[in-house]
């Protein structure tokens, strides 16, 4: 099992939503893209997961794939459920898309001091939580993309 203690040279960042098919795979893809653009990719270990297991094994939702592709970004994610023991050992930052995810992560055993809300990295957050776009139309995915884009830049700025 990879352990963050074995990787003092890099920071483990785990993006978390409910299903791990809409928001967190998009956040993961955007973050990887921006880190690559800034030549900072080797400073991070990046993954995403869901608090729920319903979509485990699935690629990202086609609407997240489409909005990412519009911006030249590929989404490598295959959905999986948060694993408290493994993920707490591996990741320095566990970044929840909304308060329900944050609550469920901590309830499942994530170390509270390492769990953050995604929008806390946004310099001028329009909302506190990244809304779940799953049941809405494609414009919801565009809005989520824009929030995630700015919040991911905020995370990288913290490490710059
Ligand atoms: P996500 O969106 O948490 O951003 O991946 C959802 C995906 C699936 C479901 C809910 C939210 N679902 O109920 O299946």
Q: Give the chain's end-to-end CA distance (angstroms, integer).
A: 28
Pocket of ligand 1 (CB under 6 A): 17-23, 54, 132, 134
Residue of the nearest CA to atom 12 in ligand 1? 19
Q: Reduced to 3 states, what is the DSSP secondary structure of residue 41?
A: helix
- CA dist 55 and 123 (Å) reads 32
Say what the pTM is: 0.97
Domains and CATH numbers, the chain: 15-159 (3.40.50.2300)
26-37 pLDDT, tens digit per residue, is 999 999 999 999
3-state secondary structure 113-154: HHEEEHHHHCCCCCCCCCCCCCCCCHHHHHHHHHHHHHHHHH
What pLDDT, on a 0 to 100 scale, did the predictor assign at position 62?
97
Residue of the nearest CA to atom 3 in ligand 1? 18
52-85 pLDDT, tens digit per residue, is 999 999 999 999 999 999 999 999 999 999 999 9
Residue of the nearest CA to atom 8 in ligand 1? 19
72-121 pLDDT, tens digit per residue, is 999 999 999 999 999 999 999 999 999 999 999 999 999 999 999 999 99
**What is the distance in A from the centroid of ligand 1 to the CA of 133?**
8
**What is the distance in A from the centroid of ligand 1 to the CA of 21?**
6
pLDDT at 1 > cutoff 70? no
Over residues 40-61, mean pLDDT: 98
What pLDDT, on a 0 to 100 scale, did the predictor assign at position 154?
98
Dihedral pair phi/psi, residue 22, rounded to 5°: -110, -70
Mutate to test the pocket of ligand 1, among 134, 141, 145, 148 (most ligand atoms within 8 A of CB): 134
Residue of the nearest CA to atom 9 in ligand 1? 19
What pLDDT, on a 0 to 100 scale, did the predictor assign at position 159?
83
**What is the distance in A from the centroid of ligand 1 to the CA of 107?**
19
pLDDT at 5 > cutoff 90? no
What positions carry a catalytic annotation? Answer: 17, 23, 132
């Amino acid at each position: 099992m990879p352990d963050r203690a074995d990787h003092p040279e890099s920071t483990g960042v785990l993006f978390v939503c409910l299903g791990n098919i809409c928001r967190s795979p998009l956040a993961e893809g955007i973050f990887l893209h921006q880190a690559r653009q800034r030549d900072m990719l080797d400073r991070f270990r990046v993954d995403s997961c869901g608090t729920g297991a319903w979509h485990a094994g699935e690629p990202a939702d086609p609407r997240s794939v489409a909005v990412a592709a519009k911006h030249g970004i590929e989404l490598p994610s295959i959905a999986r459920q948060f694993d408290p023991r493994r993920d707490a050992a591996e990741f320095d930052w566990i970044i929840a898309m909304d308060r329900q995810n944050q609550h469920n992560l901590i309830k499942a055993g994530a170390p509270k001091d390492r769990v953050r809300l995604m929008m806390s990295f946004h310099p001028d957050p329009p909302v506190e939580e990244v809304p779940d776009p799953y049941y809405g139309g494609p414009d919801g995915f565009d809005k989520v993309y824009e929030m995630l884009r700015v919040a991911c830049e905020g995370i990288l700025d913290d490490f710059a």
